[in-house]
């Protein structure tokens, strides 16, 4: 084998090696230090003074820590998983978030949608977010037992099942510490009041513990 052949092979190997080294950097460049919140009225400050919701408290916490990360709240009152799935592609494309928080599903249950439909929609959103380069935190939801024991149990179980299946972080119950206290709800007995927002924020912030190192740096 002549020297020219070896020189050619070396150049090929160097090119392959350089490409492999650049792969993680390409992923990092794609994702921005943005946290995208996809939620419903529980995250959209329904019935609350502007700037008092848990999402705003998350943003304030990041600012206190001098974190380079920002928060984009894409939550809409009345949103279902179907609506979120429809809107997500454009948001991933425009915001290129590094972290996606999914707080959806409660309105599916209120409208009597099937467990399978809710689960499939959430799964598609999770997969889509991961493929974009974002990490995902799924906020687990629960519904009152008056929907029937079987449906209530299946709805509760779909969140940990999805998180385990897709290998993402999970907040077991977003409304923990709030759901059982009537004093923490607005007059409609459905939406948490201002006082409850700090509890919801602490729930989410605690579930974001695996991201604390990441939140201190830009991607």
Residue of 15, 43, 191, 218 marked catalytic: 191
Residue of 7, 157, 188, 218 marked catalytic: 188
Residue of 40, 41, 108, 129 marked catalytic: 41
173 Rama sector, left if φ>0, alpha if ψ -120 to 50, beta otherwise: beta
Whether 41 sits among the annotated catalytic residues: the reply is yes
Whether 77 sits among the annotated catalytic residues: the reply is no
Name the H helices within the chain.
3-30, 54-64, 81-95, 106-110, 115-131, 149-166, 194-207, 212-215
Q: Is there a contact between 175 and 141 (Cβ–Cβ < 8 Å)?
A: yes
Whether 66 sits among the annotated catalytic residues: the reply is no
Checking 211-215 for CB contacts under 8 A at 24+ apart, the result is 211/99, 211/135, 211/137, 211/169, 214/98, 214/99, 214/135, 215/62, 215/65, 215/67, 215/69
The catalytic site residues sit at: 41, 188, 191
């Amino acid at each position: 084998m002549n020297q020219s052949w070896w020189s050619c092979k070396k150049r090929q190997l160097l090119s392959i090696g350089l490409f492999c080294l650049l792969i993680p950097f390409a992923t990092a460049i794609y994702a921005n230090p943005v946290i995208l919140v996809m939620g419903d009225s529980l995250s959209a400050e329904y019935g609350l003074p502007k700037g008092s919701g848990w999402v705003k408290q998350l943003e304030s916490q990041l600012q206190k820590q001098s974190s380079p990360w920002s928060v984009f709240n894409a939550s809409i009152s009345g949103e279902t998983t179907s609506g979120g799935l429809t809107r997500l592609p454009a948001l991933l494309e425009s915001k290129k978030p590094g972290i996606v928080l999914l707080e959806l599903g409660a309105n599916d249950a209120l409208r009597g949608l099937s467990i399978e439909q809710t689960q499939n929609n959430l799964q598609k959103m999770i997969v889509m977010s991961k493929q974009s380069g974002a990490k995902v935190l799924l906020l687990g939801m629960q519904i009152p037992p008056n929907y029937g024991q079987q449906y209530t149990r299946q709805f509760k179980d779909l969140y940990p099942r999805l998180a385990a299946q897709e290998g993402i972080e999970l907040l077991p119950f977003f409304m923990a510490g709030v759901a059982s206290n009537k004093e923490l709800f607005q007059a409609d007995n459905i939406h948490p009041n201002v006082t409850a927002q700090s509890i919801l924020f602490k729930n989410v912030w605690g579930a974001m513990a695996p991201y604390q190192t990441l939140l201190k740096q830009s991607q």
